Structure 1
């Protein structure tokens, strides 16, 4: 049987990143981990994840939820660094 930690490790994101993604998308954590694994494994998927998280961060700022926006910005920064690394 897979544990939640197994699912998160498989997706390629840190646990805090998956939790923030799950919260921003209103998804169970395991579903967010599955989505991240699919997206990050696809061609152009990391850029798509960055785009979606950027939209969510902007929405959070507009409603005054700066903690969520900051959490998403941290994830975006990590994903951009990984995207840059992937391209080199």
Structure 2
């Protein structure tokens, strides 16, 4: 049986990045890790993850949750640093 940490290692994203996908898609983090593994196979999928995080930031800002928006910005910076194809 695979644990969440096993799945995290297989998908190549951080816990924060997985949490952002789970938040955006309203799914458990284990499902988000599976989605991430699929999406990170090409630049189109990585752009999709970038869009998810940007939309999560916008939602946090709309509800005036500056702390969460700032946390998500840090997640976005890390994601873009480790997945530069997301900017293609």
Name the TM-score class by shorter chain: 0.7 to 0.9
Change over 3 Å in CA distance of 1:29–1:82 after alignment to 2: same
Given that 1:20 and 1:71 are in contact with CA atoms closer than 8 Å, whether structure 2 keeps it comes out as no
Query: Structure 2 matches for 1:21-32, cutoff 5 A?
Result: 21-32=21-32
Unaligned runs of 5+ in 2: none
Q: Point out the more displaced range, 12-21 or 45-54.
A: 12-21
Q: Deviations over 1:6-55 (max 9, x none)?
A: 01111111123323432343221101111111111134211211112101
Root-mean-square deviation (CA, aligned residues, Å) is: 2.2
Corresponding residue of 2:69: 69
| Aligned pairs, number | 87
Partner SS for 2:2: coil
Q: How does 1:48-63 map to 2 (within 5 A)?
A: 48-63=48-63
Q: Structure 1 stretches of 5 or more lacking a match?
A: none
Q: Under a length normalisation based on structure 1, what TM-score does the superposition of the two structures give?
A: 0.80
